[in-house]
Amino acid sequence: MAEGQAAGYGDPLNEAVSRLFGLSYLFPYQRLVVANILEAAEGAGIPLRWPEPEDGGETAEAGKSAEKGETAEGAPKDAGSGGKAACAGPGTLEGEGEDRAALGRQIVILPTGAGKSLCFQLPAMLMEGPTLVIYPILSLMADQERRLRERGFSPVVLRGGQEREEREAVWEKLRSGRSKFIIANPEVLLTPRVMDRLGSIKIVHTVVDEAHCVSEWGESFRPSYLEISRIIGAAGSPVVTAFTATASAPVLEKIGKYIFGGEARQIVGNPDRSNITYRAKGCIVRDLAVRDLLLANPRPAIVFCSSRPGTEKLARYLRNEFADMGIPWYREIRFYHAGLNREEKKEIEDWFFHNPDGVLVSTCAYGMGVDKADIRTVIHRDCSPSVEAYLQESGRAGRDGLQSNAILLWGPEDGRSLERVKSEAGRLRLAGLLDYARDTGRCRREALLKMLDYQGESESPESPCCDVCEGEAGAELREEPSLTGFFRKNKRAYTLDEAADLLSRAENIRWSGEDVKRCIGFLIREGKLKKLPRIFWKNRITVPGRPEAE
């Protein structure tokens, strides 16, 4: 085993993570992934450089950063001693027999906040040669570059639009060994000039972060993701690791196909998030439901919407509503989506990162890899397209390990969402998540893991893990009981306009007349309420019952 090659160290991995990152512990999954990478590298003849007490250069600088109190993602400084830890879940090799080379072809499923960055940063500092890390979006590339620099590393970034001199400086920094990390996206790597240079810089480890994008995006609007195996072939790296927070069997199959070319690979990981409490709420007026949920749940919070205009509209609505209600933090609500320019995105990211009361209304553009650890609540105003996307986005909550909430809204709009999905496979995936939202008879954590076809062990949650287990899940739309109760007490008393005017002024509800009309109209179409046709009570509303009583 690679970790046995560092003479004089009782536990070389713990010694390395202590000296290079200032940490005292690797979590079991981190340890397994790192050990597999190093063993595969050693098997491929890549020299390993274990840190010495007075080691200089880039490793020493990383240690200095850690001594200042900066910690690597997911690993607490005082987590206890390390020791060789067994895998806490599945680590299965696909294919027949033992294949040592397959240790270097890993699909790693780690929940958001479990410390995946350390899984490739630590080996990068020990292996002779650079590590290529492929990210899906520019904001994530920038975030990772910032975090590496803060820890004393010197990453290089390949991005579109770079001048020739800037690009040559990147190659020179790699040739000289002054940089251990290359950060890039698939599109820039597939350009002919970059592809020609990849093989010459002797990349030892290729990392594909957010690997589920191969399935989520590659077969729709990011065809470059279908050619990642070509990038890996051009790089010639003997070790390849694909990281994702969630992956069902079909997505794992696509990752295997497009990243590993169908070769045997090891699957390691556990997508379970035991510190998140999952809930689902049915509603007719979603913006109103989001408003009330933000009042009832802790912040910071993210609200996910499916469209750019939707984020802007909802953010304005929430600010206006909370200002009218006298809520002091109404100014702490902003929106974020891919249509913002780079400066706007960075300004909002920095604002949200340091804000203990912030509410960010966002598309999935914020959903990957941005490291804000203290998000307490994630609300999905619009349903994610798949269980993988939902777990990825809801996993923004509780990266610090503290109890957090993930709430998914469902309702009449879901039918239109299904109609907009073009592919049959996409409709089935969305329909499965919508069925999950409406199901009040099964633990939500169990249901999500079942939808992923996850076969490993799950951690026991520290508190009731969902509204079903707490006995709070309801199959009704949240507006239905109050409206049907109102008309049950006031049979044949009010028309639609009269009821809307009266209910919109109810202090305990705070909804607009248009909201009331929309809800009543839906319940009439669903047969939960009805307008009477008789001349004495024409257009007055009642709860359906015996015709002779009406």
Among the residues of 45-137, which ranges form H helices? 57-67, 116-126
**Cβ–Cβ contacts within 10 Å for residue 92, how many?**
13
Is the model more confident about 356 or about 87? 356
How far is Cα 449 from Cα 427, in angstroms, rounded to an integer?
20
Token readout for 136 is 């899906």
How far is Cα 332 from Cα 356, in angstroms, rounded to an integer?
9
Q: Which of 39, 17, 354, 37 is nearest to 205 (CA)?
A: 37
Distance from the first to the final alpha carbon of the chain: 82
Dump pLDDT digits (tens) for 357-408.
999 999 987 755 466 889 999 999 999 988 878 887 898 899 888 999 999 9
The dihedral built from the CA positions of residue 294, 297, 301 and 305, taken in this order, carries a sign that is negative
Whether 189 has a pLDDT exceeding 90, the answer reads: yes
State residue 490 phi and psi, 5-degree precision. Answer: -125, 55
Residue 188: what pLDDT? Answer: 92
Residue 53: what pLDDT? Answer: 52
How far is Cα 54 from Cα 169, in angstroms, rounded to an integer?
29
Dump pLDDT digits (tens) for 236-247.
999 999 998 777
How far is Cα 493 from Cα 486, in angstroms, rounded to an integer?
10
Using alpha carbons only, give the angle 123, 128, 133 rounded to the nearest 5 degrees: 55
* Ranges assigned E (strand) in 193-275: 205-208, 239-244, 266-269
Q: Which of 267, 247, 271, 369 is nearest to 36 (CA)?
A: 267
Dump pLDDT digits (tens) for 444-460.
998 988 887 665 556 66
Q: Is 535 helix (H, G, I), strand (E, B) or coil?
A: helix
Dump pLDDT digits (tens) for 101-150.
556 888 998 876 678 889 999 999 899 999 999 988 887 788 888 888 88
Please, what are the domains in the chain?
Answer: 2-269 (3.40.50.300), 276-451 (3.40.50.300), 480-549 (1.10.10)
Q: Which amino acid appears at position 222 of this protein?
A: R
Residue with tokens 């499916």: 306
Whether 69 has a pLDDT exceeding 60, the answer reads: no
Whether 100 has a pLDDT exceeding 80, the answer reads: no
